[in-house]
Amino acid sequence: MDFLTTVTSSGLIQQFLVGLSRTTILFVVASGLSLVLGVLRIPNVAHGSLYMLGAFLCYSFATLFGKNPIGFWVAIVMAPLGVALISLAAERGLFCRLYDREHLMLLLFTFALMLLCRDIVKMIWGAEYRSLAPPVVLQGSLSILDLPFPKYNFFLLSIGPFVALALWFLTQRTKIGKIARAAAVDRDMVSAVGINVSWVFASVFVIGCFLAGLGGALVAPTQNIAQGMDHTIIMESFLIVIAGGLGNVWGALLGALIFGLTDSMGILVWPQFSIVFPYAIVVIVLIFRPKGLLRATW
Amino acid sequence: MLQVEGIHTFYGSSHILFGVSLTVSRGEIVCLLGRNGAGKSTTMKSIIGLTPPRQGVIKFKSEDIARAKPYIIARMGIGFVPDDRRVFFDLTVDENLEISERKIAGTDAWNRERVYEFFQPLKHIRSRKAGFLSGGEQQMLTIARALVTNPELLLLDEPTEGLAPIIVDMLEQRILALRDAGLTILLAEQNQKTALGLSDRGYILDNGVIKYHGTIKELQENEEIIRKYLLV
Ligand SMILES: Nc1ncnc2c1ncn2[C@@H]1O[C@H](COP(=O)(O)OP(=O)(O)OP(=O)(O)O)[C@@H](O)[C@H]1O
Ligand SMILES: [Mg+2]
C-alpha cells in the first residue's frame, strides 16, 4: 500500500476540487436528463448529443466573436440558448406527438435522433476535434496549498450551486414547477383540472435540453471538443440518474457527486484501475437500493 | 345541461360502454348506480375526456365535447373528482389548490379562501403534503380542487368509498350544500344509502348498459330492479 503514503494532504484537496468541478458538469447535464425523464417520461438518449452540440456551438460563437474579451461569455450564454431553441422545435414538431408511446419506442426514437445529430455535427464542424481557450481572466492557475489549480475550474465550482439553486427554485417555488411535479405523477388529473399539460411539457423539455447545452458549453474550454463526447456523457448521465433515483433532480446531484468524486479520488487510490471506480460504486448503490438513492418519480 | 347520447367507450380493444345515454339538468343531483365494474367510472372519464368515446355524442351546454381534450372540457365548466382520490401527492394542500385554481369574476366564485371555509379541516393542514393526509382529508381535497376550477357541473365518483361513517355523513351534507350553492352534480355510487339519500334521479348501469332510469322514489319502490342490479 505504498501509493497511499505518497499522497499528500494538498494532493488530496487538489483531486477533491478536480472531482467537484467534474461533478458540476455531470450534475448540470444529468439534472436536465432527469427532469425530462421524470416529468415527460422520455428516456432521451439524444441528451448527450445536445451536450456535444452545446460544446460545438460554444466553440463557434466564441470564435465568431473573436478577440473580444466578452466573446466567450456571449458564447457560453448563446450556445445553450441555441440548443434550447433546437429542442423547442423538436418538441413541438416531434416529441409532443409521442408522449403516449411506450418507453421502448421512445428509446429507439431518441437513439435515432442521436445518430442523426452525430452526422449533422460531423457535416457542420467536420471530423477533427476543436479546442477553445478559457477567457483571459480565467486562464492560468491559482495555487492551493502549493499545488496549482486551474482558475477555470473555480468558475465551474461556482456555477454548480447556482444551477442547483435555480432548479430548486424552479421546481419548488414556481407555479410551472409545481404543475410539472404534479404532472410527473398524474398527468391525467392535471389536465382534468383544466391545465394544458402540453405547454408544461414543452417548457420542461426545453429547460432540460438547455441544461445539456449549458453543460456542453461549460466543458468546452476544459477538453477537446470532438465527436464521441455525446457517447461518454450520456452513459455517465444515465448511470447518475439511475443511481440517484429516476426523475429526482436532487438524486442527480447526489449521483453526480458520487460519480465525480470517486472518479477523481480513485486515481489516488489505484491509478491503473481508476476508471472503474465510479461504475463500481453505481453498481454497489444499485445492489443495495435498486430504485436509486432518493425517491424515484417512476 | 349535460346530454350523453349513445356513447361507446373502449379500453384498447375491450368494449366497456355500450350505447350509454343519460341527461343531467341544471341544479339536479343525478346518481349513477351499479355494481363493481359496471362502467360508472368509465362513464365519468368519458365525459371529462380521459377515455373519449369512439362513438356517440356528449353535449355540455349544447356543445359537443365528445372529442375535446380534458383541459378544454374542464375549462368549459366540468369539475372531475376521481374515484381513487388522486390528489397531487407531492404537493402541499395549498399547492394542490393553487395550481388548479381558475379565477373567474363574480362574488360567488370559488377561490382558495372560500374553499377553506367550506371544508374547514383543510384550512389547518394547508401546508401539509397531500400524500400524508387521511382518506377523508384527501377526499375533501379532491373535491376542493375541483371546486377552485369553478365548475358548473361536478362529476363525483364514489366520494364516500372506504370512509368512516362520520366522514360519510359530513361529506353527504357538504354535497347537498354544493347543490344549494348552485352546482349540478353527477354522482357515481355503490353505496345505495348515500346515493338515494342525495339524488333527485338515478340511472342504473350494468355491464356497460343503462338498465333503468327514473326518479329516486320510483327506484326505491322498484325492489325487483334493486335486487337484480344492485344487490351483490
Ligand atoms: N384502465 C383499464 N383498462 C382496461 N379495462 C379497464 C380499465 N379500467 C376499467 N376497466 C374495465 O372496465 C369495466 C368498467 O370499469 P369501471 O371502473 O368503469 O367500473 P365501475 O362501475 O366504476 O366499478 P367500481 O364500482 O369498482 O368503481 C370493468 O370491467 C373494468 O375491468
Ligand atoms: Mg369506479
Q: Give per-residue pLDDT as tens, B161-203.
A: 989 999 999 999 999 999 999 999 999 998 888 888 899 999 9
Phi first, then psi, for residue A123 (nearest 5°) are: -65, -40
pLDDT at A6 (0 to 100)? 59
Residues at Cβ < 5 Å from ligand 2 ion = B 40-41, 83
Using CA coordinates, name the residue in chain B closest to A295: B90
Set of cell numbers at residue A16:
477533491
- Closest in B49, B88, B98 to A186, CB measured: B88
ipTM: 0.92
Whether ligand 1 lies within 6 angstroms of the CB of B162 is answered as no
Which residue, judged by its Cα, is nearest atom 6 of ligand 1? B11
- As a whole number of angstroms, the distance between CA B67 and CA B58 comes to 9
Residues of chain A with pLDDT under 70: 1-7, 298
The residues near A132 (Cβ < 8 Å, ≥ 6 apart) are A58, A59, A62, A63, A72, A220, A221, A225
| DSSP string computed for A203-244 | HHHHHHHHHHHHHHHHHGGGS-B-TTHHHHHHHHHHHHHHHH
pLDDT at B232 (0 to 100)? 63
Closest CA to A220 of A130, A105, A113: A130
pLDDT at A1 (0 to 100)? 47
Contact at CB, B74 and A193, closer than 8 angstroms: yes
CA distance A199 to chain B (A): 12
Which residue, judged by its Cα, is nearest atom 11 of ligand 1? B37
Give the start-to-end residue ranges of the domains of chain A: 10-288
Instruction: Report CA(B17)–ligand 2 centroid distance (Å).
Output: 13
Set of cell numbers at residue B76:
368549459
- Report whether A30 contacts A194 (CB < 8 A): no
- As a whole number of angstroms, the distance between CA B11 and CA B51 comes to 8
Where helices occur in A144-196 by DSSP H, the ranges are 151-173, 175-185, 187-192
Q: How many CB atoms lie within 10 A of CB B195?
A: 23
What would the pLDDT profile of A217-249 be if each residue is shown by its tens digit? 999 999 999 999 999 999 999 999 999 999 888
Q: For chain B, what is the total number of helices (H) and then of strands (E)?
A: 10, 10
- As a whole number of angstroms, the distance between CA B198 and CA A78 comes to 61
Which residue, judged by its Cα, is nearest atom 25 of ligand 1? B36
pLDDT at A85 (0 to 100)? 98
Whether ligand 1 lies within 6 angstroms of the CB of B190 is answered as yes
The three-state secondary structure class of B6 is strand
pLDDT at B151 (0 to 100)? 96
- Report whether A232 contacts A226 (CB < 8 A): no
Instruction: Report CA(B209)–ligand 1 centroid distance (Å).
Output: 13
Closest ligand, as measured to the CA of B42: 1
The residues near A191 (Cβ < 8 Å, ≥ 6 apart) are A197, B50, B69, B70, B71, B74
- Report whether A78 contacts A64 (CB < 8 A): no
Please tell me if residue B212 touches chain A, with a CB cutoff of 8 Å.
no
Global pTM exceeds 0.80: yes
Domains annotated on chain B, with CATH: 1-77+188-232 (3.40.50.300)
- Closest in A178, A182, A191 to B71, CB measured: A191
- Report whether B21 contacts B210 (CB < 8 A): yes
Contact at CB, B98 and A175, closer than 8 angstroms: yes
For domain A10-288, the CATH architecture is Orthogonal Bundle (1.10)
Instruction: Report CA(B71)–ligand 1 centroid distance (Å).
Output: 22
Closest ligand, as measured to the CA of B17: 1
CA distance B78 to chain A (A): 9
The three-state secondary structure class of B124 is coil
- Closest in B48, B95, B96 to A192, CB measured: B48
Residues of chain B with pLDDT under 50: none
The residues near A33 (Cβ < 8 Å, ≥ 6 apart) are A44, A47, A208, A212, A237, A238, A241, A252
Contact at CB, A193 and B146, closer than 8 angstroms: yes
Whether ligand 1 lies within 6 angstroms of the CB of B159 is answered as no
pLDDT at A115 (0 to 100)? 96
